[in-house]
Structures are given as C-alpha cells and as structure tokens.
Amino acid sequence: MKRDISQFIIFIGISFLISCGSLQERDSVRFKSNLDKSKQTDFNHIKKALYSQFNDWQGVPYQRGGLSQNGIDCSGFVHLTFKSKLGLHLPRTSWMQARSGNEIRKDDLRAGDLVFFKTGAASSHVGIYLEKNKFLHASQKKGVTISRLDNIYWKSSYWKSIRI
C-alpha cells in the first residue's frame, strides 16, 4: 500500500515538471465547425477574432492544466480560443493538436495556423499564428501574450506548423 502511494506521489510530481504537451488525451480527434466556407477563408475575420481573444486574455497567468482566466496552459488556451472565437473543436492537449489538420511549411503560415515547439524531451508548446511572424500563446513566464517566431528561443525550439 505504501509503495502504491509513493509511486502515485512520484508520478504526480513528475507530471507537474513536464509542460502542457505531456498530457494524454484518449478521445479521438474530432472536428466540428460552425464556420461557413467564406469565414474559413476570411483571414481578416480570423485575425480580428484572435486579437479580440488576446485583448480578453492578455496577461492571464500560465497554469498547467488550467482552463480559466485564473490560469491557463498553452494547449488549453488554443482549445478555448478555437472553440469560442472560431467555432472549431480541437483536442485539449498539444500532442493531439499537433496530430490534427495538415502540416504546412513555416513559410506558408496564415492567421489561425498552429505553431508547435519542442520544449523538452517529452514536452511541447503550441501557439496560434497571427501575422508578420507573430503568434498568440500562453507563456509560462508571461502568461497569455504575443511573441515572435524569430525570437531566439522560439526559433531554436520550433517544431512544426499545422493548418486546421
């Protein structure tokens, strides 16, 4: 019994040391869109929606597993943003989000595309591309913020981009 409790405590401790991308999601990937085709291709609409989300969430602190304005993690922020602002259901974790949609080249990014970063051996980070090399995300240090892809940290840890 004590061994089971010790293993459980160690498991919980390790899970908190790894970023949001390590959470597992067992549900299959599902997409549900409330957008008509004209809005899906209207990137000005998407940019406005994303900047509106930024205005509503700017500075909300990072919290692993969080899903509220008291604290949110990167994949939770992407999940909620797509649901509330774009009418799309994305998986909750960054690893599952990375398997959604189609991979695209970094040079082909458009507003609303997902950008992924390898932040550790077993962890990843996700944000939403805005425009002009900028992306929206929940940063562990700054909370919800806008960063640049050409920042030395993000440039060196860039993994891939996905278009939903």
pLDDT tens digits along 94-119 = 999 999 999 999 999 999 999 999 99
What is the CATH code for 2-163? 3.90.1720.10
Q: Catalytic: 79?
A: no
Domain ranges of the chain: 2-163
For 125-147, write each residue's pLDDT tens digit. 999 999 999 999 999 999 999 99
20 catalytic? Reply is no
The residue among 6 and 24 whose pLDDT is bigger is 6
Q: What percent of the chain has pLDDT over 70?
A: 75
- Output the CA–CA distances (angstroms, integers) from residue 118 to 21, 43, 48, 107, in the order listed: 9, 27, 28, 19
Q: Which of 20, 79, 89, 137 is catalytic?
A: 137
Q: Strand 67-68 vs strand 71-72: parallel, antiparallel, or unpaired? A: antiparallel
* 145, two tokens: 């913020």
Residue 27 is predicted with a pLDDT of 40
Q: Would you give the DSSP letter of residue 140?
A: T
**Residue 33 pLDDT exceeds 50:** no
Residue 102, both tokens: 């189609």
* More confident position, 22 or 157: 157
pTM of the entire structure? 0.78
Give CA separation, 159 vs 1, 15, 103, 120, in Å. 42, 22, 11, 11
Per the annotation, the verdict on 45 as an active-site residue is: no
Give the span between the Cα atoms of 7 and 21, in whole angstroms: 22
pLDDT score, position 41: 54
